[in-house]
């Protein structure tokens, strides 16, 4: 009895003491903040932050390797608390939710065979890529549903995943497990900077739209009577629904699949309908804005392109300010279009909608005259976007601005220089001049330069029959493009040029920097460019070219073939270009590469499509009512009157809600 007590007591005492000593000997310091942060994290271990679990992320947050906002599953308040614990500044992120990008379930789509195996998409895909004809079609076996750590997904009656947006935290687990990458995270910001790729389901109209509007999306919203949502979908790509709804050249309607049955859906009049609805209501419907960001962006040119960028960048959370040389925003919209096609109050309404979003404006401020690159950077802007307009706007502006005026530091139009030299004017060109893409006029300009005492003249061509030569200080370089300019204050200092291959790709290692004081551009207008400050400098700047759009035949340099004319042949092209500028600036400021996604749909990209449409009953297109002829005499009243609500919803029913090869059958 005594022995038993002694042994157990002794054993307990020795072990207890041993453990106490061991806890000192083997003590490992754990930052108490790690525990505090881990306590705040949800413990779902979803991996949405990019770390293997909540505790790993907590450690990374405290170590400064991960952002306090990296957890997608917690609320903004918790993020604030975490930031307070680790004493870090946070950049708030717009919440994202999962969005399945397949429109027709297995039963409604064309199938190669009938699958009856293991109920998991990852297993099903092993048999010839799944049962659907469409290679990017959802197999509907719910791999994403099982993977969702928050129970936000379910498979709907049509065997497509349904997202409960209340529960979805945007952790991206579903995106990672889907073997076909059908379910993707989405937000307004992501939609704004989105380019269509070959790996997603797109309708023919969507692919044809130069602005890239989600056309089936907004028509579906109109069909369901949800007009605000329709406007938000449109305004993510195009903040001018009223203007475009009237004057758009609607390439979408030529591609509409209904053309194979009867007539195209009235895509553009439907856009006009929702815009008119908004105007009648008198409230501007806005795309929700992402949390505010630090950077300020200046936009030169208050035309369609500049305003589009200003609006979309504002929606991405940036502070934007438009500098307009004339006394009115809207540029060519006021000058080139008759009132009976585009009433002036419609232009005003759309522009007011952009201003209402919080875009700041300064009128009568011409770059190079009232403001300069240097003065704008001094005001604390992070980037300056150039959208000075096409040649027609240049012609209009030249009557308002002094002779020989040029907005960009060290950049002149070639034709201006030749004409001014013919008039015998004094031209200051500096020691070195680069002449760009001027065809045979380049040589004439080169001669002018030599006459004015320029020491070095470089003439570069993307493509030319002229022999590459070097004589008397004139160097002709073929298959060469301008990729970057650099300078200090208001002076151009250097340019980066690069050789290209026969296919228009960059020749490896051929980039070089040359000292240049003036650039003469062969095109009739100034290029779209982004000026940014060089790292750790307050006066030295360089330029960033926006990535090439779908029309461009080559990707590198400025003035890419195919793109020059395209951006200005219609308002919608300028809107598309403005959206690409927005995405380029956003990518640059976020430290991402300024380039289009690798598999972006381009003009000649072949995508899966159908050649005939079956099982669709012909329904005639609704005509828009027109004003009576006697009312039109001696007036510039609008001729077309727009749909009534009933007509619009009926017309929206005609939409086939196409995917790559799927469409709605009766």
Which among 224, 205, 222 has a CA at the least distance from the CA of 213? 205
Return d(Cα 7, Cα 413) in angstroms, integer.
Answer: 100
> Could you tell me the smallest distance in angstroms from the CB atom of residue 50 to other proteins?
18
Q: Cβ(620)–Cβ(651) under 8 Å?
A: no
Residue 121 to residues 151, 159, 163, 246, 600, Cα–Cα distance (Å): 18, 12, 17, 45, 26
DSSP state of 639: S
> Could you tell me the smallest distance in angstroms from the CB atom of residue 60 to other proteins?
14
Which among 472, 575, 489 has a CA at the least distance from the CA of 245? 575
Indicate the residue among 28 and 646 with the shorter CB distance to other proteins. Answer: 28
List the strands of the sheet with 470-471, edge to edge: 411-413, 518-521, 432-436, 456-460, 474-477, 470-471
- With vertex at residue 150, the alpha carbon angle to CA 149 and CA 155, rounded to the nearest 5 degrees, is 90
> Could you tell me the smallest distance in angstroms from the CB atom of residue 21 to other proteins?
10
Burial 511-527 (b: 16+ CB within 10 A, else e): eeeeebbbbbbbbbbbb
Return d(Cα 6, Cα 555) in angstroms, integer.
Answer: 86
Return d(Cα 244, Cα 333) in angstroms, integer.
Answer: 11
505-508: which pairs have CB atoms within 8 A and are 24 or more residues apart? 505/554, 505/555, 505/556, 506/556, 507/479
Residue 158 to residues 100, 527, 659, Cα–Cα distance (Å): 13, 49, 15
> Could you tell me the smallest distance in angstroms from the CB atom of residue 175 to other proteins?
20
Indicate the residue among 173 and 582 with the shorter CB distance to other proteins. Answer: 173
> Could you tell me the smallest distance in angstroms from the CB atom of residue 312 to other proteins?
44
> Could you tell me the smallest distance in angstroms from the CB atom of residue 6 to other proteins?
9
Residues in contact with other proteins by CB under 8 A are 3-4, 7-8, 11-12, 15-16, 18-19, 22-23, 25-28, 118-120, 123, 146
- According to DSSP, the residues that pair with 433 across neighbouring strands are 457, 518
With both helix axes pointing from N to C terminus, report the angle between 304-315 and 571-589 in degrees, rounded to the nearest 10.
Answer: 40
Q: Using alpha carbons only, how large is the chain's radius of gyration in Å?
A: 30
Indicate the residue among 178 and 481 with the shorter CB distance to other proteins. Answer: 178
> Could you tell me the smallest distance in angstroms from the CB atom of residue 131 to other proteins?
17
Indicate the residue among 27 and 604 with the shorter CB distance to other proteins. Answer: 27
Return d(Cα 450, Cα 455) in angstroms, integer.
Answer: 7
Indicate the residue among 9 and 380 with the shorter CB distance to other proteins. Answer: 9
Indicate the residue among 3 and 634 with the shorter CB distance to other proteins. Answer: 3
Indicate the residue among 114 and 646 with the shorter CB distance to other proteins. Answer: 114
Q: Cβ(171)–Cβ(43) under 8 Å?
A: no
Indicate the residue among 21 and 514 with the shorter CB distance to other proteins. Answer: 21
Indicate the residue among 19 and 467 with the shorter CB distance to other proteins. Answer: 19
> Could you tell me the smallest distance in angstroms from the CB atom of residue 38 to other proteins?
14
> Could you tell me the smallest distance in angstroms from the CB atom of residue 10 to other proteins?
9
> Could you tell me the smallest distance in angstroms from the CB atom of residue 656 to other proteins?
35
């Amino acid at each position: 009895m005594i022995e038993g007590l002694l042994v157990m007591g002794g054993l307990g005492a020795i072990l207890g003491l041993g453990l106490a000593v061991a806890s000192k000997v083997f003590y490992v310091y754990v930052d108490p903040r790690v525990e505090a942060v881990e306590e705040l994290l949800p413990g779902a271990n979803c991996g949405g932050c990019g770390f293997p679990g909540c505790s790993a992320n907590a450690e990374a947050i405290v170590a400064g390797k991960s952002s306090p906002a990296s957890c997608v599953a917690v609320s903004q308040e918790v993020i604030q608390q975490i930031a307070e614990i680790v004493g870090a500044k946070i950049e708030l992120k717009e919440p994202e939710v999962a969005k399945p990008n397949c429109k027709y379930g297995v039963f409604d789509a064309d199938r190669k065979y009938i699958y009856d195996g293991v109920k998991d998409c990852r297993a099903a895909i092993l048999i010839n890529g799944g049962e659907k004809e469409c290679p990017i079609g959802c197999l509907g076996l719910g791999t994403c549903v099982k993977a969702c750590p928050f129970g936000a997904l379910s498979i709907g009656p049509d065997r497509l995943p349904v997202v409960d947006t209340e529960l979805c935290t945007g952790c991206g687990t579903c995106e990672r497990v889907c073997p076909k990458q059908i379910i993707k995270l989405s937000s307004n910001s992501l939609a704004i900077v989105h380019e269509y790729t070959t790996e997603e389901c797109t309708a023919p109209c969507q692919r044809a739209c130069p602005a890239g509007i989600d056309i089936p999306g907004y028509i579906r919203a109109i069909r369901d009577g949800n007009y605000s949502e329709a406007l938000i979908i449109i305004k993510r790509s195009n903040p001018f629904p009223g203007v475009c709804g009237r004057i758009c050249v609607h390439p979408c309607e030529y591609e509409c699949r209904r053309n194979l049955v009867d007539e195209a859906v009235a895509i553009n009049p439907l856009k006009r309908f929702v815009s008119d609805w908004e105007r009648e209501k008198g409230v501007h419907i806005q795309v929700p804005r992402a949390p505010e960001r630090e950077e300020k962006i200046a936009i030169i040119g208050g035309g369609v392109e500049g305003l589009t960028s200003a609006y979309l960048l504002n929606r991405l959370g940036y502070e934007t300010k438009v500098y307009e040389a004339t006394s009115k925003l809207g540029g060519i919209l006021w000058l080139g279009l008759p009132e009976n096609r585009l009433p002036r109050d419609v232009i005003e309404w759309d522009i007011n909608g952009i201003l209402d979003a919080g875009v700041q404006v300064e009128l009568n401020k011409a770059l190079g005259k009232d403001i300069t690159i240097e003065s704008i950077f001094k005001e604390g802007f992070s980037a300056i976007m150039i959208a000075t307009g096409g040649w027609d706007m240049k012609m209009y502006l030249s009557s308002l601005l002094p002779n020989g005026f040029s907005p960009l530091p060290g950049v002149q139009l070639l034709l201006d220089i030749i004409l001014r030299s013919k008039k015998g004017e004094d031209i200051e060109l500096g020691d070195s001049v680069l002449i760009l893409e001027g065809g045979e006029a380049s040589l004439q300009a080169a001669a002018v330069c030599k006459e004015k005492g320029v020491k070095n003249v470089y003439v570069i061509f993307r493509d030319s029959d002229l022999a590459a030569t070097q004589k008397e200080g004139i160097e002709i370089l073929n298959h060469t493009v301008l990729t970057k300019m650099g300078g200090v204050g208001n002076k151009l200092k250097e340019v980066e040029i690069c050789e290209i291959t026969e296919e228009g790709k960059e020749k490896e290692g051929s980039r070089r920097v040359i000292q240049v004081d003036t650039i003469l551009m062969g095109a009739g207008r100034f290029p779209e460019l982004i000026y940014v400050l060089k790292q750790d400098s307050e006066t030295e700047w360089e330029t960033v070219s926006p990535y090439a759009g779908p029309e461009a035949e080559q990707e590198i340099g400025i003035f890419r073939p195919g793109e020059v004319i395209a951006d200005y042949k219609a308002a919608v092209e300028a809107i598309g270009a403005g959206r690409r500028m927005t995405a380029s600036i956003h990518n640059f400021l976020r430290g991402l590469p300024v380039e289009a996604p690798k598999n972006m749909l381009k003009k000649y990209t072949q995508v899966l499509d159908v050649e005939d449409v079956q099982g669709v009953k012909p329904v005639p297109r609704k005509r828009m009512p027109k004003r009576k002829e006697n009312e039109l005499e001696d007036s510039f009243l609008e001729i077309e009157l727009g749909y009534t609500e009933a007509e619009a919803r009926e017309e929206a029913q005609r939409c086939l809600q196409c995917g790559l090869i799927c469409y709605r059958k009766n």
